[in-house]
Structure 1
Amino acid sequence: MSTNQSQTTGYLYTFQAFFTWGLLPVYWKLLNHVPALEILAHRIFWSLIFVLLLLIWKKKLNIGNLFYNKKATSTLAITGLLVGSNWGVYIYAVNINHIVEASLGYYITPLVNVALGLIFLKEKLSKLQILALVLAATAVIYLTIDYGRFPWISIYLAVSFGLYGLLKKMSGVEAMPALAVETLVLTPFALSYIVWGLVSGKGHLFNDTIQTDALLIMAGVVTTLPLYWFGLGAKRITLTSVGFMQYIAPSIMLFLGLFIYHEGFPKEKQVAFVAIWIALALYSYSIFASYRKKKQG
């Protein structure tokens, strides 16, 4: 495959991933009659099943070796808890009509990554990146004071996903084997919940419609496939390009929240979003300028 063909394929895979992540609220809305915790349990369990099948197909089912590496195993246990709680809060936010607040969290995530890089990896920030962080923090403080409550959904989604990315980077394990271990760590909880639902008759699997059964089981596919596509795409295009494309998902979520599900968008949220967008524009420009400088040098 030529370089141009590889890059084109990379852009398509990466776009597919972010576009699918952006549309996920529609999927969870179809299950809004099911408690968020039950949806989460199915998402974890069926993700494990699907990722194992994917690894078998790709002949990469060698996750057993990871358990001999205590550091990697410990790290993946923590990232499993982080990604599981992130999924749970996200599903909860969608099903209580807080898609807009969830989208804000994913807009903030790149800026949280910058802050985490500064704190844990001792990375140096440019003046523009420092200004972007200050502007984002100011927006959150303003939203908390003027809106009357702390935007915990946004902040938790951003911080948990930021920490998840940081620890995954430090673990050095490929995305799919890592997800297999992460979901395996969470599966005892998930499977216990599912079995309890089946035995007690209080669960929705096989006690509701065929559509509900299919949606619960396919939760593993809609979770794993975008991550698989992202892994394929990110290998073929620059990190800068991936950085710009990551705004696709929260933009789609914001559109869905405002125009499809008609969530409120009061003045204080509008001001906070504009401030975050300006911060992201500054951050993106700083990354692009740095990339261009390195290329010219």
Structure 2
Amino acid sequence: MSHSTSPDGRAVLTAVACYTLWGLMPLLFMAMAQAGFGAPEILAHRAIWSVFVAGALVLLVGQGAQARRVLGDPRTLGWLALSALLIAINWGVYVWATTHHATLEASLGYYINPLLNVAAGAVLFRERMDRWGAGAIALAAVGVAVQTAALGHLPILSLILALSFCAYGVIRKRVAADAATGLFVECLVLLPFGVALLVWLETHGAGGVGFSSTTGLIWALSSGLATVLPLVLFSSAARRLPLSTIGFIQFLAPTLQFACGVWAGEPFTLLRGVSFAFIWAGAGVFAFGAWRRSRVIREAIRESEPA
């Protein structure tokens, strides 16, 4: 875990690439839905094919020995099984949202998530939260309240996405396993469930698109690649950056998701607009606070340098 006041530049770029890919992922699932895939089949293929992509990555980066060591360590394996459960919940809800015209509600969850990361960083890792971070969280809370009024109920989908991924990030930050190894083990944990789900769908006439044609198989394989790549980037960045820095960069993903939802023609009411206005205000306050802190750090470094 990094405690440096100056974040690793390559780790920052890794996080930016990760959240760009996540932000554009709704387009993949929308296209798969148009090709005939249902949300459960997409989820099953993600669980199945991601293990092969993650396994190839483990071999490519020479972490085979580490993977065997993790699989033989019950404590580490237990933590990774828990993180696998959390990411499976996150995948399932997100796939359903993006294939059922709820991408805007999903993007709200990922606007909330960075602020949860800030709070988790302060509570669990003793990362300092200043008044800008506290103000951003307060504005986000108002945004959630307004969204509740707009929907007529709590934005459960948004909250599940935010809470599950925040908890996933906290666990992955604590687990003693490199990014590729940890993800491979998580995918191994999920593999039998993915196979069982796909078999159940096949026997009940609700699946089969992924194996019906070459095009269907390409879509299925792409879901595995799209699953693994950003998660590897995230796991790598999360272990090298403070959660507060991750939280700032993460605003990129929901902004792109929001754009995907609007592009897809999802309803955007006035009250929902007010809700997002509060969320965006929170993001703006947080970004300003992050910029202000970085300026103070640069000035302190400049003053400490010999003349």
Shorter-chain TM-score category?
0.7 to 0.9
2:264 equivalent to 1:266? no
Look up the match of 1:27. Answer: 28
Q: Which amino acid aligns with 1:25?
A: P
Q: Render the CA deviation track for 1:155-192: whole Å, top value 9, x for unaligned.
A: 11111111100111111322211111111111111112
Partner of 1:131: 135
Describe the SS at the equivalent of 1:30: helix
Contact 2:114 2:246 in 1 (8 A): no
In 1, Cα distance between the equivalents of 2:11 and 2:174? 24
Q: How does 1:117-156 map to 2 (within 5 A)?
A: 117-156=121-160
Deviations along 1:26-72, one digit per CA (max 9) or x if unpaired, are 11012223221221111011101111011112221231101333332
2:110 matched residue in structure 1: 106
Identity in percent: 31
The answer as to whether partners of 1:10 and 1:235 remain within 8 angstroms in 2 is no
Unaligned runs of 5+ in 2: 1-7, 302-307
1:48 equivalenced with 2:51 (yes/no)? yes
CA contact (8 A) 2:147 2:275 kept: yes
Aligned pair count reads 290
Cα pair distance change 1:206/1:71, threshold 3 Å = closer
Moved more, 67-76 or 185-194: 67-76
Q: Distance in 2 between matches of 1:139 and 1:162?
A: 18
- Quote how far apart the aligned CAs of 1:18 are: 2.4
Q: Which residues of structure 1 form unaligned runs of 5+?
A: 1-5
Q: Secondary structure at the match of 2:32?
A: coil
More displaced, 125-134 or 84-93? Answer: 125-134
Q: Letter of the aligned partner of 1:204 in structure 2?
A: G
Quick check: 1:240–1:291 contact (8 Å CA) kept in 2? no
- Measured at CA, do residues 162 and 239 of structure 1 come closer, stay the same or move farther in structure 2, by a change above 3 Å? closer
8 Å Cα contact 2:37/2:209 also seen in 1: no
Is residue 2:115 matched to residue 1:72? no
1:162 counterpart residue number: 166
Q: State the TM-score, normalized to the length of structure 2.
A: 0.84
Q: Give the partner amino acid of 2:95.
A: I
Structure 2 contact 26–103 (Cα < 8 Å) conserved:
yes
Which deviations, in whole Å up to 9, do the C-alpha atoms of 1:207-254 show, x marking residues without a partner? 534322211122111111233455677899998775544322211111
**Among 257, 260, 271, which residue is 2:261 paired with?**
257
Counterpart in 1 of 2:216? 212
